[in-house]
Structure formats: C-alpha cells, structure tokens
Amino acid sequence: MSSLPRRGAVAAALSLCLSLAACGGGTSNQYAGSTLAGQVLMEASAPVAGTANICLFAVADGLGNPLTVTVPPVGTGTLLTTACISSNSQGQFVQALPNFYGPVLVQVANGYYYNRASSSSVALSNLSATNASLQALAFVGGGGTVNVVVSPLTTIATAMANRMPGGLNAANYAAAIAKVEAEFQLGGLNITQAPSSGDAQDLVLRGIERYLVDPPGSTDDPAGANLLNWNVAALATMSADYSNAYDAINSSATQFTFN
C-alpha cells in the first residue's frame, strides 16, 4: 500500500502556524500558500476512500465550520474549496491552497474502509451521523507541501483541542496530540504520522475498529460518539470497553484507564 511521506509533522507544522500572524487564517500576499497532502486511515491497512468526502475549512479564532451543525467543532469558518474533494483508493487527497494561511480543519464523512474486526467493508457515514466525523488540523501558508494524517486518533485530539480555551489553535492541538499519545500508551509514536503495520499506533487503531462494531463498545457507545468526541462523562465506560476491544483484536491483556 502506498503511503504519504513521513516527517516530524507536529513540530514543523505548529512552528509554521505559530510564525503566522496570530494563526488567524485568511489571505495575504506575504505568504506563498501551500499544497495540502493528506491520507485518511482507520488503521495502517484500512484507508478511507470516498467521493467528495474530504472537506477543508478555514479556522478563525479557534472555530471551524462543521459538516453539519451537530458535528463538533461547531463555529464559523469558510470552506476552502468550491466543493468537498475526494480521497482515492489509498485514502489520499491533494489540494492546492495558494491563497490561504493558517489552520485548516480537515473533516471526513462518508467513504468506505475495510474493518478488520468485522472482516467487511464499512461505511464511514455511520460515524458522521452520530457527531463523530473523522477530523484533523493542518497548518498551511509557508509554501511547499504540508502533510496531514486523518484518523480516529487525530479526531479525538481535535475534539480535545476544541474544548480548550482558545479552541482550535496550534498550542491546543499540540497539547491534545500529546494527551492522546499518552492515553493510548503509544510509547513515543506520533499520531500525526501514518502508522506502520503492527506498530503500537496500528494496534490501538485496530482496537478502535473492534470497539466500533462489537459489544460492549458498540452497545454502550453506538458508532463511537463518546470515544471519538472524548466525552469526559463516559471515560470509565470507555476505558473498560476499549480495553476489552483492544485485547480481543490484538490477543492482549492490556488495560487502558482514560483520564
């Protein structure tokens, strides 16, 4: 399977964002624009492919325009393309953003992926319909190509950042990424880079796939609305159900205690 080039995405992207004027978003002759190259993955071997399923929104003052008013983050923003764009069979997409600088909210709804737990092709629409579209942030405007990975883990980080004071900005997203990596015991792996088959991030993502389709996760948290939005009121149940799912699909005895 082809994959996007890897890099130290958080440090480079956040450094770029922080160097821009207030990380605002908009147009400016001072910046050359960027090309955004992304990949949507449910796990290393499960790309999300779809037609017009990738929506790129400008983020201003920590707010990004959602696909629907019920899918957080809810706020104001501008769609950066004339229509949402498509991901290919490997979950990849490329979009030139020549006149924008600042943070971009990538939101993904619809499309299909192969779920390892159910051994079947699964529609992503079951997530977006329950307020849990896949999401990530990217920071563009310094020229060149900016890479972004969109996964359930970056979705959780985006939900966390959205609830912090200031909302969707570089510092909050960096803090949320670090928290996700700690909560899921990733041992230094970076969720802004694509997982490799069988690495710690890939095993965690397989656990999420199992959580989404089999009880008790699928019963207690239909379509992962609590997990993917990181509902702090449900952390105890999420911890137990996710541990069950992770252990079942990975033949493990690992326990997760979400805080």
Name the residue with higher pLDDT: 133 or 193. Answer: 193
- In the predicted model, what is the mean pLDDT of residues 64-92? 78
pLDDT confidence of residue 66:
63
**pLDDT surpassing 70 at residue 68:** no
Question: Across all residues in the chain, what is the average pLDDT?
Answer: 85
Q: Which domains does the chain have, with CATH numbers?
A: 9-155 (2.60.40.10)
Average pLDDT of 125-144? Answer: 83
pLDDT at residue 70 is higher than 70? no
Phi then psi for residue 233, to 5 deg, are -75, -15
Residue 2, pLDDT above cutoff 50: no
Per the CB < 8 A criterion, the answer to whether 213 and 121 are in contact is: no
HEC secondary structure over the chain:
CCCCCCCCHHHHHHHHHHHCHHHCCECCCCCCEEEEEEEEEEECCEECEEEEEEEEEEEECCEECCCCCCCCCCCCCCECCCCCEEECCCCEEEEEECCCEEEEEEEECCCEEEECCCCEEEECHHHHCCCCCEEEEEEECEEEEEEEEECHHHHHHHHHHHHCCCCCCHHHHHHHHHHHHHHCCCCCCCCCCCCCCCCHHHHHHHHHHHHHHCCCHHHHCHHHHHHHCCCHHHHHHHHHHHHHHHHHHHCCCCCCCCC
Cis peptide before 152 (omega within 30 of 0): no
Give the mean pLDDT of 171-181.
Answer: 97
What Å distances lie between residue 74 and 68, 105, 221, 234, 253, CA to CA?
A: 8, 11, 21, 21, 38
pLDDT tens column, 221-243? 998 999 999 999 999 999 999 99
Q: What is the pLDDT of residue 127?
A: 78
Find the mean pLDDT for residues 145-167: 94
Whether 198 has a pLDDT exceeding 70, the answer reads yes
- Nearest 5°: the CA angle 3, 5, 11 is 130
Query: Residue 1: which pLDDT band, with cuts at 50, 70 and 90?
Result: very low
User: Residue 121's beta-bridge partner residues?
Assistant: 114
| Mean pLDDT for the stretch of residues 57-74 | 70
**End-to-end Cα spacing for the chain:** 35
66: nearest Cα among 151, 140, 134: 134
How sure is the predictor about 8, in pLDDT bands with cuts at 50, 70 and 90?
A: very low
pLDDT at 151: 97
Whether 132 and 229 have beta carbons less than 8 Å apart is answered as yes
Position 110 scores a pLDDT of 86
Per the model's pLDDT, the better-predicted residue between 66 and 174 turns out to be: 174
Residue 54 pLDDT > 50:
yes
Q: Give the pLDDT mean for 60-81.
A: 70
pLDDT of residue 141: 86
Q: What is the pLDDT of residue 15?
A: 42
